[in-house]
């Protein structure tokens, strides 16, 4: 695309970051995204990321031209590639009678997430060829087979029986350390769904997997009845 005239050197921009970057984001950018969007787009992403760390006030696009050593049309085309691949969202506003673009950087997929995205993985396959693609996928998507192993992990209910055995310090720390290992056991949440619907509250948004787990844990820890859960949840 021809980017000349779409943005001007004097127009401003502010870099922002949505969420936290995964530890593997450098590898994802260089080995997975770069074959699809090119080095200029990756350089622009990394430059904007640096701007997010050191500046909060608007800068002109002339600054980006100096940082990247690229003409403005190349910067614009790199921006479009970042937007198209899902690494950037762009907003336009006015500040002190000056047009300012807000460049909100999005988190790159981790390598495992990237290969589980059908579109991106197929694009990468066609860009780098089967041999390199298989090498990268085998390296980053190794699955550990636990089928032959005996599962001996303690469940939440095994450790925290009722509110009577709940201690104030050690169990609280244990819940924080092992929260990702707790599993929501079979329980009928229909009564909660009906209660929320009666209150015009979207049950789907409330009864997420994490919230169901929390409800079950609190019921066990404090031996709560259904009406007590309903009151606390509301």
Query: Does 105 or 172 have the greater pLDDT score?
Result: 105
Residue in this structure with the two tokens 């079979």, named with its chain if needed: 186
Separation between Cα atoms, residue 38 and residue 82, nearest integer Å? 10
Q: What is the CATH number of domain 12-139?
A: 1.10.10
Query: Does 18 or 216 have the greater pLDDT score?
Result: 18
Nearest to 104 by CA among 29, 16, 45: 16
**pLDDT band, very low/low/confident/very high, at 2 (cuts 50, 70, 90):** low
Give per-residue pLDDT as tens, 55-82.
778 999 999 999 999 999 999 999 999 9
The domain spans of the chain are 12-139, 156-233
The predicted pLDDT at position 117 comes to 87
Neighbours of 117 (CB within 10 A): 13
Q: What does the DSSP 8-state code read for residue 159?
A: H
Tell me how far apart the terminal alpha carbons of the chain are, to the nearest angstrom. Answer: 53
**pLDDT band, very low/low/confident/very high, at 41 (cuts 50, 70, 90):** very high
CA angle 228, 230, 231 (to 5 degrees): 65
> Mean of the per-residue pLDDT values for the chain?
82
Separation between Cα atoms, residue 159 and residue 161, nearest integer Å? 6
Q: What percent of the chain has pLDDT over 70?
A: 82
């Amino acid at each position: 695309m021809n980017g000349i005239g779409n943005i001007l050197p004097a127009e401003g921009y502010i870099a922002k970051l949505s969420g936290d970057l995964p530890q593997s984001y450098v590898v994802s950018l260089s080995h997975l995204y770069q074959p699809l969007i090119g080095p200029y787009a990756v350089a622009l992403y990394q430059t904007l990321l640096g701007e997010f760390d050191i500046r909060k006030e608007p800068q002109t696009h002339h600054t980006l031209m100096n940082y990247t050593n690229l003409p403005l049309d190349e910067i614009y085309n790199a921006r479009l590639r970042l937007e198209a691949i899902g690494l950037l969202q762009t907003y336009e506003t006015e500040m002190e009678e000056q047009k300012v673009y807000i460049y909100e950087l999005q988190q790159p997929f981790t390598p495992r997430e990237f290969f589980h995205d059908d579109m991106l993985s197929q694009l990468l396959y066609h860009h780098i060829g089967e041999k390199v693609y298989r090498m990268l996928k085998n390296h980053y998507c190794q699955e550990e087979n636990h089928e032959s192993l005996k599962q001996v992990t303690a469940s939440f209910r095994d450790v925290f029986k009722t509110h009577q055995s709940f201690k104030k310090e050690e169990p609280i720390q244990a819940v924080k350390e092992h929260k990702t290992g707790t599993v929501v056991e079979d329980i009928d949440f229909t009564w909660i769904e009906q209660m929320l619907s009666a209150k015009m509250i979207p049950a789907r948004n409330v009864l997420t997997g994490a919230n169901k787990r929390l409800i079950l844990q609190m019921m066990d820890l404090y031996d709560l009845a259904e009406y007590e859960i309903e009151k606390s949840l509301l």
